[in-house]
Amino acid sequence: MTTGNIQLLSDTLAAAKAENRAALVAYLPAGFPTVDGGIEAIKAAFDGGADVVEVGLPHSDPVLDGPVIQTADDIALRGGVRIADVMRTVKEAHAATGKPVLVMTYWNPIDRYGVERFTEELAAAGGAGCILPDLPVQESALWREHAAKHGLATVFVVAPSSKDERLATITEAGSGFVYAASLMGVTGTRESVGAEAADLVRRTRATTDLPVCVGLGVSNAEQAREVADFADGVIVGSAFVKRILDADGDQAAALTAVRELAAELAAGVRRGA
């Protein structure tokens, strides 16, 4: 049986902790701007200093994503991206770098594709696991059974609205790390929202030994440093996607921009130590 790379993910997060810093987790959608271009963008993010990459599975109704990622998903879907392309993206990005690569996806595409088939193919591609933002824990037994069978992490998402009892239920069922979701908010509200995220990390840590990584709308080194002060990992997505969109089809410029942003953020999570 081919197993996934949950151990590689755990080791990578532990290594960042041993260096007294947060891990940098980058998010990029598969098939954006093209399948090949997306693979190269992930390699560029790793090259710049990302520790882990989440590969987004483009969805036609990405209700939890902001307009930047929705734009990227639309470009990928119009380009004809399929789950096979997502698996190829994971496989080639992991094979080229030896780094942990996860898939972030809504539940519906997996449900339609088949849980057994999806987990088997993701493990065979060298994937470390899956982040499942809309799969309720109480409905996740089938997924977790197959994920465990193939050595894949199951990363659940917690939010500031999650009560302590609910946090404990979620973290007990998860593996790899916990994704703590919040928002930076508009200018002028970031201080209070940051405090809310720090409180969420504190409450989550009270229920688990898993690393807690925060997706907070981080877009620059200073924000990365702030989040790294209280989180085990800093997750950045829209800022990477925006750099590619701003390159306006110039692949070389896009890759340079992704690499440079990763380097800036990597320096930020280290200063936050």
Report the catalytic residues. Answer: 54, 65
> Kindly report the CA angle at 165 between 13 and 176, in degrees rounded to 5?
20
> Which residue(s) pair with 154 in the sheet?
130
- Residue for token pair 């594709």: 113
- Residue for token pair 């734009």: 71
- Residue for token pair 């200063």: 271
- Where are the strands (E) in 48-116, listed by range? 52-56, 101-104
Tokens for 70, please give them: 């929705």
Q: Which of 170, 164, 123, 165 is nearest to 147 (CA)?
A: 123
- Residue for token pair 């996607």: 241
CB 162 within 8 A of CB 140: no
> Which residue(s) pair with 235 in the sheet?
25, 215
